[in-house]
Amino acid sequence: MNFFLTLSSIVFPLITFPYVSRILGPSGTGAVAMGISLTSYFTMVAMLGIPTYGIRACAMVRDNPEKLASTVRELLLINLIMGLIAYILFYIIIIFVPSFRSSFSLYSICSIAIFLNVIGVNWVYQALEDYSYITSISVLFKIIGLFLMFMFVKTKNDVNSYALVTVFSSFGAGIFNFIRLRNVVGNYNVGDLNLKRHMFPIFTFFAMSIATTIYTNLDNVMLGVIRNSTEVGYYNAATKIKMVLSTLVSSLGQVLLPRLSYYVEQDNKECFNRLISKAFSFVLLFSIPCAIFFSYYAKEVINILSGPEYLSASFTMVILMPTIVLIGFSNITGIQVLVPTGRENIVLKSVSIGAIIDFVLNCIFIPYYGSNGAAIGTLVAEFSVLIIQFWYLRKLVLDIVPSIEFKNLLISLLPALILLNYVKTSFSYTDFIGLIAGALVFFGVYTLGLIITKEEIITSVLRKDKII
């Protein structure tokens, strides 16, 4: 179910962005990207660290309905209070900063995401591993959003409509999540609410969110301030595929976090380590070939998705592709190992250092290289985060490395690369046909190689065995 959920997050932008980018142009898409990025900071304030902490806290008490109800109510109350504070801060900034005040209506529309995130309580359903519901409601809103996009975004002046549909399709499911929450909370008499017990871990996760948001969203903001919205548009085009692939990789962590937290609570180290080992193998098998393929076809992808007006973003995309692998690994070490075991302070340290590095490098490179400079900052920041987390988990990593099938990966990847190069250099296609042909050859040969070498995860899937 989580696969279909992630797939819907991929299909929606792949269908809409080529259309929207041609209608609104780099300036229009860049303005909305700027608004979404700005709003994300205030959403972070409203949510504190609850989206991650809430999964762990609820997963640990999910076998006790009364404790679960108490935990959900306490965390939701904290969310609502912080949501009000976030809106007050948001409109103070919008009103008193001239460059933001000129786009008051656009930013107000983007700010709806704050409210929908607060009442969305997606962390409750993730903790209970209710992925059938999460997937069905999210896909429904994306389908509705798809039709609304083509209905209301028709000219360069429909920037606000684009922003509203984007927010609706991404976060509108939060309304139904909140209505359905009474089925989880029920009518249990939980007594006095104890908010204090959550505050220290929540603020630790909040600090993590601040640092992570800085080096994931700061690029758009700094590009808009230092350069212009056109550069933001280029960068936004370059990050589309990177964001899609990173979401696919990190979606594994969203699924495993509640289960790993449950294993920690049950002190089941054997199942915990086996699950982590499979996670490493999955990231390797998926992220490396994707990073290589989309680097090789960067120009074609940018031209298909955004049009020739955005071709300057192709090299930016190449710079960003290795971050898919880095994010995949740091998602395992951070969200799947350090968080369930209560060592989120290490994650905080790593992402804080990454945020500082990203800010410094952006200040150095963006004035000269624009979107390429922002990409360099992000790449170095992600690498720094991973190295720090690896250092603290070096014993676990060294124990797991022998169980990872590097040999099968290399054996399968080499012939796929050779044939991919042959297909691209020996035949003349349109960009779309060439991309499809290259993907079929590259991923087809790669998958066949994994089957022939009997790679464990692929073999388990084909046999319909449980991987974990």
List, for residues 184-197, the tens digit of each pLDDT value: 776 666 567 778 88
Q: What is the mean pLDDT of residues 393-405?
A: 76
Tokens 């959920």 -> residue: 5
Confidence of residue 427 (pLDDT cuts 50, 70, 90): confident
For helices 298-306 and 229-265, give the axis angle rounded to 10 degrees: 110
pLDDT, tens digit (0-9, with 9 covering 90-100), for 52-68: 888 888 887 877 888 88
Judged by average pLDDT, the poorest of 9-13, 350-354, 394-398, 450-454 is 9-13
Please report where in the chains the tokens 């609502």 appear, as a residue.
80
Does residue 89 carry a pLDDT above 90? yes
In 3D space, the residue among 142, 406, 372, 121 whose CA is nearest the CA of residue 239 turns out to be 372
Q: What φ, ψ does residue 195 adopt, rounded to 5°?
A: -75, -30
Mean pLDDT calculated for residue range 429-441: 85
Tens of pLDDT, residue by residue over 119-160, are 988 888 888 878 888 888 888 998 898 899 888 888 888 889
Give me the pLDDT at residue 188, please: 61
Highest mean pLDDT among 12-21, 36-45, 384-393, 449-458: 384-393
Please give the pLDDT value at position 322: 93
What is residue 464's predicted lDDT score, i.e. its pLDDT?
A: 58
φ/ψ of residue 130, rounded to 5: -90, 65
Average pLDDT over every residue of 157-186: 87
How far is the C-alpha of 51 from the C-alpha of 209, rounded, in Å? Answer: 10
> Which is higher by pLDDT, 309 or 116?
116
- The runs of H, that is alpha helices, within 401-430 are 406-426
Q: Of all residues in the chain, what percent carry a pLDDT higher than 70?
A: 92
* 185-199, 331-345, 374-388: which is most confident: 374-388
Contact 289, 442 (CB under 8 A): yes
Predicted TM-score (pTM) of the model is: 0.72
Span 21-33, pLDDT tens digits: 888 887 888 888 8
Distance (Å, whole) CA 123 – CA 33? 25
Query: Does the pLDDT of residue 252 top 70, yes or no?
Result: no
The CA distance from 79 to 410, in Å, is: 47
Half-sphere exposure of 188 (CA within 13 A, CB side): 19
